[in-house]
Amino acid sequence: MDPEVTNIILPDNRIITLFSYNPLYNAKMRCIKGSRWHETGKFWSFPGGAEVLKKIKNEFSGRRIVIDYSLAESPPVKENHGSTIWWKGIKETAKKVLILRGYSLKTRQVYLAHIKRFSLYLEKSQKNLGAEVVHDYLMNLFERKKAVLSYYNVAVSSLKFLFRYVLKLDEVWRSIERPRPEHRLPTVMSKDEVMRFLLAQRDLKYKAIFMLIYSSGIRVSEAVKLRVEDIDGDRKMLRVRDGKGRKDRYTILSTVALQAFTDYLEAYHPEGKWLFPGRNEGKHLTPRAIEVMFKEVAKRAEIKTDATVHTLRHSFATHLIERGINLRYVQEMLGHRKPETTQIYTHVMRRDLAGIESPLDSIFAMEQNLKKEKTVREIQESHHFDENEIH
């Protein structure tokens, strides 16, 4: 925490101050009427009001003061526990900052969930709010909870967001480091497996969904949000709205997938704005429903590859690159921001590897050739001996 900064948060009916440990300022806070020290969260709280706020600002004269007014109209906060006040105050602030910075609904939900977990850990740890408790929390997450790297990375992103944009504690968020990234290759289905899978799908609705994902390379979260007008049959194009990173893009649409889409429309006649409506009126189909259906069909088709519905997207990219399609075009269709993300598919393609012979095969082939040559010589020598016997 910056020793020269005082953070003031204003939930309804209370004032909260956050600052680095300083016995002089602690003594000043203790003298303010109605002050209360919260050991768990390591902060002071006071009754709300303009006079109290003015007095606090006077006590911190000469220091940089950051005041958060975003909670002035939030619901009243119960004073059960210091950390409860802290969490609820941070939660409402974080919500608004996430919205103002343009984060998607899913990202907002995930970040808030991680911030809440950190808040509960802070409550139990009885430690000061700062870099040390953040590092301890992440170490606990990584070692004791055995969190997978992707989950751990999201936790890191959430805490970086919290300390950078909500608490504005530069020293803390800069100290949070990410682990070295994993370099895992995507799972890819063979063309034969894709064909078996699609033929095993009997339901016209899900057949259209899976064909669109594989033929266009879209994410399942993008497939469920498709609208009828996103299908451009004349140009053989598919429009993706509000994709990852809140970006729109166009990708290709196959003739076969277009026919599957037409068959689905004729059979189901979907109403409303969503191409694939869910059970609840006005809601689209959930990604979870598609994932469950994928597993059922994959089992029926006897797909041995450890595949998920996202594997269809991986297979789309890999099969295009194997056909020699320019990597830049594939990047645009997938909606990747960086070309390096798309390049990973070059490591699983078979076009360049198919012509390379394993040294084991070459050794055995050499051995087989030697045996054949020996057999031929023996036959020739035997034939020559027989001719001498005749003469």
Distance CA 176, CA 157 (A): 9
Q: Which helix (H) or strand (E) holds 83?
A: helix 82-100
Which of these is catalytic: 116, 164, 227, 336?
336
Site of tokens 């602030």: 93
DSSP conformational letter for 284: B
Task: Give me the helix-helix angle, 149-161 and 105-125, nearest 10°.
Answer: 80
* C-alpha 229, offset from chain centre: 28
Q: What tokens appear for 106 in the block?
A: 């899913």
Give the DSSP letter string of 323-383.
TT--HHHHHHHHT-SSHHHHHGGGGT-STTTTTPPPHHHHHHHHHHHHHHHHHHHHHHHHH
- What values do phi and psi take at 9, rounded to 5? -110, 140
One-letter identity of residue 211:
M
Specify whether 345 is catalytic: yes
* Catalytic residue status for 135: no
Element (H, E) at 44: strand 43-47
Residue that the structure tokens 């409402």 belong to: 92
What are the φ and ψ backbone dihedral angles of 16, each rounded to 5 degrees?
A: -120, 135
Distance CA 93, CA 71 (A): 7
Catalytic residue among 114, 219, 284, 319: 219
Is residue 244 among the annotated active site residues?
A: yes
Structure tokens, 378: 């023996």
CA 137 to chain centre: 21
End-to-end CA distance of the chain: 107
Catalytic annotation, pick one of 25, 57, 310, 329? 310
Give the long-range contacts of residues 22-26, CB within 8 A, separation 24 or more.
Answer: 25/59, 25/60
Catalytic residue among 207, 284, 313, 319: 313
Tokens of 355: 């012509």
Residue of 108, 164, 244, 249 with catalytic role = 244
Residues with catalytic function: 219, 244, 310, 313, 336, 345
